[in-house]
Amino acid sequence: MSSSALLSDSLLLTVTGRDHPGITARLTGLLAEAGASLLDIEQVVVRGQLTLCLAVRLPDAPGVRESLFATARELGLSLDIQPAPAPGPAVSSRHVVTLVGRSLGPSEVHAVTERLLQHGANIERLHRLSEVEPGSLEIHVTLPPGRELEPLQRSLLELAMSTSAFDVALQRESLYRRAKRLVVMDMDSTLIRIEVIDELARAYGVGEQVSRITERAMHGEMDYDESLRQRVALLKGLDARVLQNIADQLPLTDGAQTLIRVLKRLGYRTAIISGGFSVAAEALRTRLGIDYAHSNVLEVVDGKLTGRTLGAIVNARRKAELLESIAQAEGILLDQVIAVGDGANDLLMLERAGLGIAFRAKPKLRQAADASISAGGLDTILYLLGLTARELQEVRD
């Protein structure tokens, strides 16, 4: 056909039916032979059922549409041809909502999508990250010009805090969302299930006193440096072997081992930045193959704790500084850093990172973080990176 043949206004071709090899090849081949222009294309297959949409301009020549319908029938498919809708209004930003739970049914999906509707977010794409039943969904949404992101983010956080069935995270869709390179984690009650200082205190018979101070510090009700000094002072005289025994048997948080193993296989750098103690942090670094570990050093004299620490205290400001220092040493942009923590001492670190995640955290930190995880384990973070269950299985194998 002559290249000068007139083309129609844009049309939307919607092809549906049972999926099998060769469908897209046959239809695009026919369009190519006819001299059509391709404006857009999208295809999805759900449980073997295909939906293929093509926005095209067809030559204004007899027989082209008839050939398309005949080919569709031959392939066992239905074809609908309608004028293509005009492009949608401009959008101010694109975002990804990740929904992760044990099992996501209609009520869970409705709860999230209803919040999106209330804040004017339009769903452009929704797909399953989990392998069989929906346990993780990724929803790509757009917001209209002038619509602020913060109210939607706050609404989704409130939803996540109201249930233990699933976690919801909202991220800006950008080059860096799937290009993270460094994951920095708090240790106590994040990478491990315990607070090491509380375990030491219980072993020494000062558990109640230390726990009260710890709780106040975690809620941001007390200066961290002073709280650490007071707690460590209560441990004066404790045999250092007790600390080593605890460090040798640290209970990992659910999903921690999977998270670190996958991150290492994918080439990520990993770090512990903790207000806990170096003996425990170094034990975890060796056990899990973590690249960096920064924490407080307990002074030991004649095999006993002196009740003091050595060097600068790893407080909130120091955590943020260490995050920046590691990123700089590795040549990694802050937008490519994930920080994970559970207490007020982690706030500045989470704010400094491209993605700050509150993990089973106190309300104050959850409200300030980019994302919050409470229902799942640490391996939920892998879904926030956009990885699918199939991709994770490939890495595990």
Q: How far is CA 114 from the centre of its chain?
A: 21
pLDDT for 93: 81
138 - beta bridge partners? 98, 127
pLDDT for 6: 52
Residue among 339, 358, 229, 356 at smallest CA distance from 292: 339
**Which residues, at least 6 apart from 56, have a Cβ–Cβ distance to it below 8 Å?**
10, 11, 13, 31, 36, 37, 38, 39
CATH number of this structure's domain 182-195+250-395, picked from the four choices 3.40.50.1820, 3.40.50.970, 3.40.50.2300, 3.40.50.1000: 3.40.50.1000
pLDDT for 1: 39
pLDDT for 221: 79
Q: Burial of 296 by CB count in 10 Å (0-12 exposed, 13-18 middle, 19+ buried)? A: buried
Candidates 40, 60, 80, 186; catalytic one = 186
Same fold, 10-83 and 94-172: yes
Candidates 9, 40, 167, 188; catalytic one = 188
CATH level 2 (architecture), domain 94-172: 2-Layer Sandwich (3.30)
Q: How far is CA 201 from the centre of its chain?
A: 35
Length, in residues, of the chain: 397
> Is residue 60 annotated as part of the catalytic site, yes or no?
no
Q: Are 342 and 362 in contact (CB under 8 A)?
A: yes
User: What's 10-83's CATH class?
Assistant: alpha beta
Residues 20 and 36: their CA atoms lie apart, in Å, by: 24
Q: Burial of 228 by CB count in 10 Å (0-12 exposed, 13-18 middle, 19+ buried)? A: buried
Domain residue limits, the chain: 10-83, 94-172, 182-195+250-395
> Is residue 223 annotated as part of the catalytic site, yes or no?
no
pLDDT in tens, the chain (397 residues): 334 445 568 899 999 999 999 999 999 999 999 999 999 999 999 889 999 999 999 887 778 899 999 999 999 999 999 998 877 666 668 899 999 988 788 999 999 999 999 999 999 999 888 876 678 899 999 988 888 888 998 899 888 888 888 899 999 888 888 889 999 999 999 999 999 999 999 999 999 999 888 778 767 678 889 999 999 999 999 999 999 999 999 999 999 999 999 999 999 999 999 999 999 999 999 999 999 999 999 999 999 999 999 999 999 999 999 999 999 999 999 999 999 999 888 999 999 999 999 999 988 888 888 899 998 899 999 999 988 888 887 876 6
